[in-house]
């Protein structure tokens, strides 16, 4: 192997070690904590919106069932009148 390959290998190992230390520092951990807290707040917001949408859909579903029941009753009454 040539010297340049050994130099690249040593540089990569040094860079990797420095990267691991930087990712494990206190400042990095504070940043991870802030990002995680923001993600949890976003999750709460999304879940609140999803709950409101679900409740609205349930209202629409119940109204649709009521309308169909009224329509079926009206059709049944029309059939009875025709037979009479």
Which residue range(s) make up the domain with 48? 26-83
Total of domains in the chain: 1
The backbone torsions φ and ψ at residue 2, rounded to the nearest 5 degrees and listed phi first, read: -85, 165
Residue 60 counted as domain residue = yes
* Structural domain contains residue 18: no
pLDDT digits (tens, 9 = 90+) for 34-66: 999 999 999 999 999 999 999 989 999 999 999
- Residue 5, sorted as left (phi over 0), alpha (psi -120 to 50) or beta, turns out to be alpha
User: Is 48 part of a structural domain of the chain?
Assistant: yes
In a domain, 9, yes or no: no
pLDDT digits (tens, 9 = 90+) for 20-36: 777 778 888 899 999 99
Q: What is the pTM of this model?
A: 0.51
| Rg of the chain in Å (alpha carbons) | 33
């Amino acid at each position: 192997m040539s010297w340049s390959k050994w130099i690249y290998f040593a540089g990569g190992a040094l860079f990797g070690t420095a990267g691991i230390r930087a990712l494990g520092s206190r400042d990095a951990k504070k940043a991870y904590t802030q990002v995680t807290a923001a993600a949890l707040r976003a999750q709460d917001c999304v879940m609140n919106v999803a709950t409101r949408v679900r409740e609205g859909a349930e209202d629409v579903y119940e109204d649709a069932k009521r309308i169909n029941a009224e329509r079926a009753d009206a059709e049944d009454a029309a059939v009875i009148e025709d037979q009479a």
